[in-house]
Amino acid sequence: MAEHRTGQVGHFINGQRVNGEGGRKGVVFNPTTGEVQGEVALASASEMSAAIEFADRAFADWSQINPQRRARVMFRFKELVEKDIDNLARMISSEHGKTLPDARGDVQRGLEVVEFACGIPHLQKGEYTEAAGPGIDVYSMRQPLGVVAGITPFNFPAMIPMWMFSVAIACGNAFINKPSEKDPSCPMRLAELMMEAGAPAGILNCVNGDKEAVDTLIQDPRVKAISFVGSSDIAHYIYSEGARHHTRVQAFGGAKNHMIILPDADMESVVNQLIGSAYGSAGERCMATPVAVPVGDKTADKLINMLRPKVESLRIGPSTADDADLGPLVTAAHRDRVKRWIDLAIEEGQELLIDGREFSLQGYENGFFMGGTLLDRAKPEHKSYQEEIFGPVLQIARAADFDEAVALPSKHQYGNGVAIFTRNGAAAREFAQRVNVGMVGVNVPIPVPVAYHTFGGWKRSGFGDVNQHGPEGVRFWTKIKTITQRWPEDVQGSEFVIPTMG
């Protein structure tokens, strides 16, 4: 199986690959070796504006195609992605550093939303009320917005773009994806596959870039909606700037997900699930579990005794290794940032149980690797607890009782996901009702909802009122129009009061 190498990456605009003309470029690393494996063009404002123009033209016809035919394109796209999944996984693994099985999972979770979007003839139906008043019927329809955009992160270069564009395009919109410049190859390939599936040129464009490209999307009045996933500071910026320019925005930011462990939990199951959710993909997931909250010191001590050998025996290897639990981090700069968070946690008084900072993989000494790190006695006042580390680091924050365990994630600035592990149904139900977090798992460590439900966090993890995919996604990518109609044979006189249906 040939190894992917990035080479020169431009843009995919109006149905074809084009070289960037702006002159600025970013580098794409191979995180396993530390080598530069390619360059990616960074679009100028004029290049992004041209992509918007092509998308706007394509929308006029695409929005008039009936939903069954749009669904058939999505069915064919799904089949093409399934056939190409190993190639897509190699692209992701090579540029991101996640293992090949994890990369295939990245693609598969995106495909689940494509499957949901295949049901658009039903999903986009409006409502109808007969005889809402004397001779009056009322009905509604959901219509596409026009040109819409997604700004997607490095950690899921397949899943999150497909979460966005599959529903948006199925609804009749034209889409521009601005992916991360760190791993651009997979989003480019997805745009090609959408064309092969039968979507018209200009319906799915992939424009690489940085802040200049993002600001152009926000400020152009032809762009009607933007979906974003990334850091909370950038999410807040895009949300506030979008509002200033009258653009609909959903913006999802950082996370600090907690796993609450009650004394009655099956500890072997807890440890097995915690090790994967904390260290899988080197912790570079917004739904990872970087904080464990054992209730009571006895629970905490038992957890640590069982967890320590699991962390020490993590299999860290090249992203292409079949038996690796995790690969490298995405860049050297990000790896060094994670190390600085560990330094700070120690300075703040946390107990370093396992130190992964000096890990080096033989034969890949220049790769961006880290070992698993385990820290105990994190406190709410610690900066390293308050912020997202986004690396293979697990912090243990001990809680004295159930109420403190509920309070820790509830009071945290982020509110993406949380999990509770217990055999007590009443405690789990109370926790799920009380906790101030957007997504809750009960004996499930990574509570990412299935495609026909919806994804979204609270507080600084989510800006905007509508979540991703599921019925919420259809609502975000459409506008509702309501028609009140009467077909009288004869209308006598004029009415000067507001009409009622009583």
Which residue is it, tokens 């820790």?
A: 408
Whether 465 maps to a domain, the answer reads yes
pLDDT value at residue 2: 67
CA angle 139, 466, 63 (to 5 degrees): 55
Residue type, 49: S
Residue type, 432: A
Domain check: are 174 and 269 in the same one? no
Domain check: are 303 and 319 in the same one? yes
Structure tokens at 157: 């270069």
pLDDT value at residue 22: 80
Residues carrying an active site annotation: 286
Domain check: are 249 and 285 in the same one? no
Domain check: are 203 and 280 in the same one? no
Domain check: are 191 and 227 in the same one? yes
The total number of structural domains that make up the chain:
2
Domain check: are 271 and 412 in the same one? yes
Whether 495 maps to a domain, the answer reads no
The percent of the chain in helix, strand and coil, each rounded to the nearest 5, is: 40, 20, 40
pLDDT value at residue 225: 98
pLDDT value at residue 363: 95
Predicted confidence pLDDT, tens digits, the chain (502 residues): 567 888 999 999 999 999 988 889 999 999 999 999 999 999 999 999 999 999 999 999 999 999 999 999 999 999 999 999 999 999 999 999 999 999 999 999 999 999 999 999 999 999 999 999 888 999 999 999 999 999 999 999 999 999 999 999 999 999 999 999 999 999 999 999 999 999 999 999 999 999 999 999 999 999 999 999 999 999 999 999 999 999 999 999 999 999 999 999 999 999 999 999 999 999 999 999 999 999 999 999 999 999 999 999 999 999 999 899 999 999 999 999 999 999 999 999 999 999 999 999 999 999 999 999 999 999 999 999 999 999 999 999 999 999 999 999 999 999 999 999 999 999 999 999 999 999 999 999 999 999 999 999 999 999 999 999 999 999 999 999 999 999 877 666 777 777 776 6
Which of these, 293, 290, 268, 263, lies nearest to 277 by C-alpha position?
290
Domain check: are 473 and 436 in the same one? no
Whether 492 maps to a domain, the answer reads no
How far apart CA 477 and CA 225 sit, in angstroms, is 7
Domain check: are 298 and 216 in the same one? no
Whether 83 maps to a domain, the answer reads yes
How far apart CA 39 and CA 319 sit, in angstroms, is 20
How far apart CA 297 and CA 143 sit, in angstroms, is 56
Residue type, 74: M
Q: For position 373, which CATH number holds?
A: 3.40.309.10
Whether 386 maps to a domain, the answer reads yes
How far apart CA 373 and CA 392 sit, in angstroms, is 6
pLDDT value at residue 196: 98
Domain check: are 322 and 401 in the same one? yes
Q: For position 14, which CATH number holds?
A: 3.40.605.10
Q: Are 458 and 110 in contact (CB under 8 A)?
A: no
Domain check: are 210 and 315 in the same one? no
Structure tokens at 258: 């907690």
Whether 456 maps to a domain, the answer reads no
Domain that holds residue 416: 258-442
Whether 78 maps to a domain, the answer reads yes
Q: 144 pairs with which residues across the strands?
A: 478
Domain check: are 225 and 132 in the same one? yes
Alpha-helical regions (H) of 63-177: 67-83, 85-96, 100-117, 120-123, 159-170
Residue type, 232: S
Domain check: are 210 and 124 in the same one? yes
Would you say the C-alpha torsion 276, 278, 284, 288 has a positive or negative sign?
positive
Whether 88 maps to a domain, the answer reads yes
Whole-number CA gyration radius for the chain: 24
